[in-house]
Amino acid sequence: MNYLVENVFEPQMKGTREGFGEAMVELGRRNKSVVALSGDLRESLRMVEFGKAYPERFIEVGVAEQNMAGVGAGLALCGKIPFLCSFAVFSPGRNWDQIRVSVAYTNANVKIIGGHAGISVGQDGATHQALEDIALMRALPNMIVVAPCDAEQAKKATMAMADHVGPVYMRLTRPKTAIFTSPSAHFEIGKAQILREGKEVTLVACGPLVYQALLAADGLQGVIDVEVINMHTIKPLDVETLLKSVKKTGKVVTLEDHQINGGLGSAVAEVLGERLPTKIKRMGMMDRFGESGDSTALLAKYGLDKKGIIKTIKEFK
């Protein structure tokens, strides 16, 4: 199946948070049970239009993320579908205890949106660059973890989250990044997408860095044949698609805007360690915090852009 737009290397640009905001307005129209809660970040999480259209279903909690988790759990247990919206460093970063006990433990139908994740948030600096959120959330029983690759997929993931009964965490990013998946491409929670077939290396990525993975694979054409997998759902991981690819290539590289410990790379390594021991190289933040700077420059500094990925794959023996 072709998941990509026709002119994939001449993409339009939009932040994944934009796709989420657009989907929320549509969800509000379709389902009166959908409620949005904001931690004083309605503009940053693109909740303004939802608030205007459905003011009776928009709750401004303020800078009180722990309280927001409790309110969301209560609404879910009353039959609503609450979306809790904040920066990922605050939710789940600050309110993880409340998410664990009030949401995950009770298996409440709460949707948690962590915006401005990764070093891509740039100038906000290390304190506001969530690099541990995937690890925090995939450790929780009952929790689904999703990291859409572009604005189009964020829109579809938001709709799918509303249909899924149970806790879901979705990670969003701020900067404008490539829209490279087709509007007609099917999205399913827990089902990875092979965006490019290859025979020598399996490159597994999540979030907007999937586009950098595609650029790198294209740059290596004729040198190393790279298969690119968009692992948009980190939990549950699509084990079947992963193993099928790795049996063919025999090598794996993972790529994420997150700590290499506990994130996508760890999830892939855990599966391979138990099911199919394979040479693996994890790319991400190497057990360190980020820093303030332009998002593109930061990705380059930490080797997470096209150039850095190509270098890593070439050196991977």
Average pLDDT in the 251-259 region?
98
pTM over 0.85? The answer is yes
Q: What is the pLDDT of residue 183?
A: 96
Among 18, 22, 65, 152, the one annotated catalytic: 65
Q: What is the pLDDT of residue 288?
A: 97
Residue 1 has pLDDT above 80, yes or no: no
Residue type at 9 in one-letter notation: F
What is the tens place of the pLDDT at every residue in 95-105? Answer: 999 999 999 99
Is-catalytic flag, 65?
yes
The b-or-e profile of 78-114 (16+ CB within 10 A means b, else e) is eebbbbbbbbbbbbbbbbbebbbebbbeeebbbbbbb
Separation CA 5–CA 201 (nearest Å)? 23
Residue 251 has pLDDT above 80, yes or no: yes
To the nearest whole number, what is the mean pLDDT of the chain? 97
What is the tens place of the pLDDT at every residue in 38-97? Answer: 999 999 999 999 999 999 999 999 999 999 999 999 999 999 999 999 999 999 999 999
* DSSP tag of 90: T
Q: Is the link from the previous residue into 236 a cis peptide, with omega within 30 of 0?
A: yes
Which residues are within 8 A (CB) of 296 and not within 5 positions of it... i.e. 6 or more apart? 305
Average pLDDT in the 157-185 region?
97
Residue 197 has pLDDT above 80, yes or no: yes
Tokens of 159: 């709709």
Domains and CATH numbers, the chain: 12-178 (3.40.50.970), 193-315 (3.40.50.920)
State residue 271 phi and psi, 5-degree precision: -65, -45
* DSSP tag of 102: I
Residue type at 1 in one-letter notation: M
Residue 192 has pLDDT above 80, yes or no: yes
Q: What is the pLDDT of residue 317?
A: 83
